[in-house]
Amino acid sequence: SELESMACGSADVSVDALRARTRYGEGVSASEPHVRYFWHALHAFSPAERAAFLRFVWGRSRLPAGTAAWKEQWFRIHTMEAAEPDSRLPVAHTCFFSMELPRYSSARMCHQRLLYAVTHCIDIDADTSGEGVANAQLPRLNSTGSGESDDHHHTRA
């Protein structure tokens, strides 16, 4: 409904709207093959898969309703440097609305790996992973000296 869209944003994630609110990390540009493969994959996703992607990178299933609702929020794409990028999954950091994208060798590989990550790597905290348990044992302090959570997806296969 119109009221739902105004309050919650569109149920279908607009790739064009997301692209307009995207910035690229140091040394990354929209013209690089792996970034072009990413946008191609996102366009090819079904509406449900795009919503899953948004949950994967941001912890929510809808984009903000209108430009003003974005405030200062930007989606950020960083390149994950890896010796064998086709064997890696993208890593999302929901608290920063960012993603580390490996330099996939093809659009097909990017589509496969991204779809796998957004449909199988859905835990927003690494609490139950080996890394999460180990990290929970370490004291974490932010600049004010209080505890700080580190919410992000770990996408190791």
Distance CA(153)–CA(23), nearest Å, equals: 20
Residues 75, 5: Cα–Cα separation, whole Å: 21
Q: Which amino acid is at 103?
A: R
Q: Any catalytic annotation for residue 110?
A: no
**Angle subtended at Cα 51 by Cα 38 and Cα 28, rounded to the nearest 5 degrees:** 25
To 5 degrees, how large is the angle CA 73–CA 74–CA 78?
145
Query: What is the rounded CA–CA span in Å between residue 93 and residue 64?
Result: 18
Known catalytic residues are: 95
